[in-house]
């Protein structure tokens, strides 16, 4: 598949088929994600792949924690977003909310509970980073995430990055025996997209380039 096509087609997938993903294919996705650039080639990412019954148990644990603490997907800003900035993601999310309303689904429950169970994907990937690294190294994890989601799409797989699960870091650390010196940075749902599900028909848009571009010459 051509790179442009992969970039333009890729979207977050929130409904998956039950079919398991062969380990070799998961390894191929991760191997290619590791081609991402990183500062001083530090490669600060570490992956834990959770499958089968363990993935189901992890989902049940996170759903229970969500039920108790109700921590939701949030913009992750240091304060209320100014209207113009908030609008960027806000428009997409308002559109998604209306779309879910039409499907009779509550945005809050669908997105929050869905995130906690990795949208029923057969594979959950947890990305960790050693705490010794500066927070600037999140950028490297972000680069690897970009490679990962694009590779997955090119191989016929779907992904959804899941930041929400970091709110339940204590539970995940305990369940997956992740040592205290590692930070849990991101979760990713991975599996074969269920294209028959209406939820995978919603495509987000982007701001016009001019809104975020400044020439200085
Ligand atoms: C760091 C990060 C965290 C995210 N966390 C979540 C999440 O917790 N739950 C979710 O449903 N989507 C999550 N997403 C997916 C975004 O909502 C999605 O990428 C965005 O709306 C753009 O849509 P697209 O990926 O379909 O292009 C996350 C994406 C990123 C990059």
pLDDT in tens, 116-144: 999 999 999 999 999 999 999 999 999 99
% residues pLDDT > 90 (the chain)? 84
Residue 164 CB–ligand 1 contact under 6 Å: yes
Q: Where do the domains of the chain lie? A: 3-71+83-203
Predicted local confidence at residue 76, as pLDDT: 62
Atom of ligand 1 nearest to the CA of 202: 26
pLDDT tier at 78 (50, 70, 90 boundaries)? low
Contact 25, 203 (CB under 8 A): no
Gap between the terminal Cα atoms of the chain: 37
CA of 91 to the centre of ligand 1 (A): 14
Q: 204 pLDDT exceeds 80?
A: yes
CA of 216 to the centre of ligand 1 (A): 31
Contact 154, 6 (CB under 8 A): yes
SS3 call for 17: coil
Predicted local confidence at residue 79, as pLDDT: 66
| Residue 210 burial (10 A CB sphere; 0-12, 13-18, 19+) | exposed
Class of 3-71+83-203 in CATH: alpha beta
Residue 193 CB–ligand 1 contact under 6 Å: no
Residue 148 CB–ligand 1 contact under 6 Å: no
Which of 7, 9, 12 most suits a substitution to test ligand 1, by most atoms within 8 Å of the C-beta?
12
Per-residue pLDDT of 164-186, as tens digits, reads: 999 999 999 999 999 999 999 99
């Amino acid at each position: 598949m051509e790179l442009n096509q992969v970039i333009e087609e890729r979207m977050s997938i929130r409904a998956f088929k039950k079919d398991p993903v062969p380990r070799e294919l998961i390894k191929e996705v991760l191997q290619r994600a590791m081609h991402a650039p990183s500062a001083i080639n530090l490669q600060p990412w570490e992956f834990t792949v959770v499958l089968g019954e363990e993935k189901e148990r992890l989902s049940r644990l996170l759903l229970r924690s969500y039920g108790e603490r109700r921590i939701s997907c949030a913009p992750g800003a240091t304060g209320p977003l100014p209207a113009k900035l908030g609008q960027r993601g806000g428009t997409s999310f308002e559109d998604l909310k209306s779309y879910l309303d039409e499907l009779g689904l509550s945005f809050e429950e669908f997105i929050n509970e869905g995130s906690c169970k990795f949208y029923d994907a057969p594979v959950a990937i947890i990305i960790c980073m050693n705490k010794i690294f500066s927070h600037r190294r999140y950028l490297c994890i972000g680069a690897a995430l970009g490679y990962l989601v694009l590779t997955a799409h090119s191989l016929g797989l779907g992904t959804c990055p899941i930041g929400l699960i970091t709110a339940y870091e204590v539970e995940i650390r305990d369940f997956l025996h992740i040592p205290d010196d590692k930070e849990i940075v991101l979760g990713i749902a991975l599996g074969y997209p269920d294209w028959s599900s209406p939820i995978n028909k919603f495509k987000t848009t982007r701001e016009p380039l001019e809104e975020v571009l400044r020439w200085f010459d």
